[in-house]
Amino acid sequence: MSLLLFLVVIISLGCGTLPPIHVSAWQPFAATAALVGGWGLLCHVGVRLIARQAIAGDLDRWQAVTWMERQLAMFRWLTLPAIVLCLGGFGLGRILDDVAVTEQSMAVRAVVLLLPGLLMIAATYSAENYYGALLGYDQTGWRGHVRYVGQLTRTGLAWLVLPVVVLMGLCDLVSWVSADPAVNQWLMPLAVVLVVVTALPLFIRRGLKTEPMDPTRREWVTQILRAVHLQRLAVRRWDTGGTAFNAMVAGMFDPLRTMLVSDRLLDRLPDDQIAMVLLHEAAHVRRRHVPLRMLSVLPAWAAGMLVTRIAGQSDYAVTLGTAAGILFTVLILRIVSYRTERDADRYACRLAAQIGGQVPGVPSTIEQAGASLSAALTRITADHPSTRRATWLHPGLDERLDSLRIHTSPKHKTATAGTMANPAMP
């Protein structure tokens, strides 16, 4: 998950806690529309200027691409203060109680809050495609343009935004079905749990383009999962058009849990490296990392509630508490995610050493497993050096390789994998 996209969604929704103002609705809507439109125009003008320099030969094309990427990255991060300006400064997020449809529906309110940020991020995707079309890298024409922007929006933002809107719609439904506050107090949390546990993994599985693996590859993958006692985990080939090395597990409980493995990873890596990527994802499941990450957020929002209580009767009490909750969530998730990623790397090597003699293509010792996983991580990030840097939820490549080197050396290979409070592997 991108930190930027997470913040776009959470800050947009958080602006809904700002104290209301009472002005004509058209004023904030018009001001927001003008800012978003100007934002999109500025993105396109910026990449056009760079493209013209590249076409004229004033810029090396590789250097031009670097400038374009940096410029659009700057625009994407500047989306965050622009969202606050639209929703807080212009007042779009503060007039919703005076508009009938947003006052009555949490789902519609969420859409209005999210729309400025989504449009500004989509404008940067559009500018990226525009640059490619000017230099002949991408197809020209509005159909190809819409397809490009839609694809990036679907894979980047949609899987964060749509579950929020669905959840808010479900809360609307609960409030309309039952007007009794006592019933709503337990019915709404139950609806939230149902969405997170059932609807979200189904949406990810259906929202991403997937297909069955070929029978031979599927049987081999199934052997690996059966050997680590995950035989009920469904597996699908993730069709990225050959553009991505990636794998993930969507869902927390069988039979809704699915492992998605990208086409490029399956087609380009040797078996021993594919096996280690699969075992890394299996380690996340076996060590219960997803529920652990979700539970780790609870103290952050407890701290946010404490800040709200301390703020007392201030008009900005809820806003301050929300801001504190966001800050603590970002910090705690970073700490927990780094620890679970390193833990999954080490645990995957232990799994490989246990099943290497049972399944062909799987490294049979911890040292071999560490070497194969290190090679896979290096190959996966080779085409995009920027992915080797540390991100919000993943340690940098060098850190992971150093950790694997230390923990798969002979003097450490009998050590317990990880530092999380998880049961030892049987």
Q: Which residue has the tokens 């929703």?
A: 87
Closest CA to 123 of 61, 46, 49, 56: 46
Per-residue pLDDT band for 126 (boundaries 50, 70, 90) equals: very high
pLDDT confidence band for 181 (50 / 70 / 90) = low
C-alpha dist (Å) from residue 253 to 51, 233, 258, 259, 290:
48, 9, 9, 12, 10
The pLDDT score that the predictor gives to residue 279 is 96
- This prediction has a pTM of 0.81
* Model pLDDT, residue 79: 96
What's the distance, CA 111 to chain centroid? 19
Residue 180's alpha-carbon distances to 70, 172, 184, 191, in angstroms, are 52, 13, 6, 16
Report pLDDT for 153.
80
Contact predicate 381/387, CB 8 Å: yes
Region 206-224: what's the mean pLDDT? 89
> Token pair for residue 356?
């290497």
Res. 417 pLDDT band, cuts 50 70 90 = very low
- Asked if pLDDT for residue 92 goes beyond 70, the answer is yes
Q: Is the pLDDT score of 139 beyond 80?
A: no
pLDDT tens readout for residues 296-335: 888 988 998 999 999 888 888 988 998 999 999 999 999 9
Are 359 and 224 in contact by the 8 Å Cβ rule? The answer is yes
Burial zone of 268 (CB within 10 Å; 0-12 exposed, 13-18 middle, 19+ buried): middle
69-78, 83-92, 120-129, 192-201: which range is least confident on average?
192-201
CB distance 262 to 390 below 8 Å: no
Q: Where are the domains of the chain?
A: 1-178, 209-410
Residue 420 has what pLDDT? 33
- For residue 236, what are the β-bridge partners? 260
Q: If you average pLDDT over residues 155-181, what whole number do you get?
A: 75
Q: Decide which of 227 and 386 is more confident.
A: 227
* High-pLDDT (> 90) share of the chain, %: 52
SS3 content of the chain, % helix, strand, coil (to 5): 70, 5, 25
pLDDT of residue 284: 95
Q: State the pLDDT confidence band at 210, using cuts at 50, 70 and 90.
A: confident
pLDDT at 424: 38
E-strand spans in 116-180? none
Residue 181 CA from chain centroid, whole number? 34
Burial (CB < 10 A; 0-12, 13-18, 19+), residue 74, is exposed
Q: Are 26 and 119 in contact (CB under 8 A)?
A: no
Q: What is the pLDDT of residues 265-294, one digit of tens each?
A: 999 999 999 999 999 999 999 999 988 988
